[in-house]
A = this chain, B = another copy of it.
Amino acid sequence: MRCAKCGATAVIGMRQHRLNLCAEHFVAWVPDMVARTIDKYAMFAPNERILVAVSGGKDSLALWDILIRQGYETEGVYINLGIDHEGYSDASEDKVRAFAEEHGSVPFRVVNVGEVYGKTVPDLAHTRRGKRVCSVCGLVKRHIMNRVASEGGYAAIATGHNLDDEAATLLGNTLHWQSAYLLRQAPVLPETHPRLARKVKPLCHLYERETAAYALLRGIDYVEEECPYAVKAKSIVYKGLLNQLEHRSPGTKLQFYLEYLHAREDGLFRQEEPAPIENTCPQCGQPTMATGLCAFCRLWEKTP
């Protein structure tokens, strides 16, 4: 297998692009792909300040690495959820901290949920029967991310979702015909309120194995373990199914996602203006669709 650019021994073959590359050219190709993705979906402008949500995993650290190298003004934010199974959250925080130091001490902050709010995410989920940990965790992370972005005046929140993540989410939403999600899943979720920043996914055209290979070749030290709560998540099942299809027909995952975006663009779904967000949570001051406390504050309110 030879590199398509220089003829050297290739380290990776991307069958969906019919492209084999050597280490050097692959490490250059990934940021190019990210730059084209940022451009294609008009994610952000070169002068905009970006908050990068980093988990300590390969995807978010690869994303941060690429944005730093491309000269964007970024700040990393790590939310320590307090998952202590084999020290998961603290070990992840260490990886992020080490990354920031190695990258010339780029701006970086930690929000420790247990210290700031008095309870960790597993504590919260435990005392809120009927709510799954992943759903509580998502709510907590979105709230904190929005708050930090709003306070810091960031133009956008960038997350490390790769194509496999997006395709698995799409498959799950499709298998259950989750209309609300099918109407809006996208590489860019626009700002719906001055205090709810734009969300962008610059890795959404890259396969998981490509972000992993990039992190490896760049020597990025990341947490390899899946979140212990996510191990049984449906998304892992969906990724497995999509990989079976991909194996049989290279490009299936990418087409599934891109053709969904095209079909929506072409008017497959009903047209819907997002409802304006007019209320403010009396407790945290964040915008909310609820009339009283926002969902995040209700979460704590109801916890014994």
Which A residues are closer than 8 A to B by beta carbons? 174-177, 179, 182-183, 237, 241, 244-245, 248, 252, 255-256, 259-260, 262-263, 266-271
| Min CB gap A118→B, angstroms | 36
Closest B residue to A248 by beta carbon equals: B237
A-B contact list, 26 entries, CB within 8 Å: A174-B174, A175-B255, A175-B256, A176-B255, A176-B256, A176-B259, A177-B256, A177-B259, A177-B260, A177-B262, A177-B268, A179-B266, A179-B268, A182-B263, A182-B268, A183-B268, A241-B241, A241-B244, A241-B245, A267-B270, A268-B269, A268-B270, A269-B269, A269-B270, A270-B270, A270-B271
Residue of B179, B244, B262, B268 touching A263 (CB-CB under 8 A): B179
Main secondary structure of the interface of A (DSSP, over half): helix
Known contacts A241-B244, A241-B245, A248-B237: A177-B269 contact under CB 8 Å: no
How many copies of this chain does the complex contain? Answer: 2
| Min CB gap A108→B, angstroms | 39
Q: How far is the CA of A179 from the CA of B175 in the complex (A)?
A: 16
Q: A244 — which chain B residues lie within 8 A by C-beta?
A: 241
| Min CB gap A232→B, angstroms | 11
Q: A270 — which chain B residues lie within 8 A by C-beta?
A: 267-271
Q: How far is the CA of A179 from the CA of B266 in the complex (A)?
A: 9
Q: How far is the CA of A268 from the CA of B262 in the complex (A)?
A: 16
Given A176-B256, A176-B259, A270-B270; 17 other pairs, CB 8 A cutoff: A174-B174, A175-B245, A175-B252, A175-B255, A175-B256, A177-B256, A177-B262, A177-B268, A179-B268, A182-B263, A237-B245, A241-B244, A241-B245, A268-B269, A268-B270, A269-B270, A270-B271
| Min CB gap A132→B, angstroms | 15
Closest B residue to A170 by beta carbon equals: B174
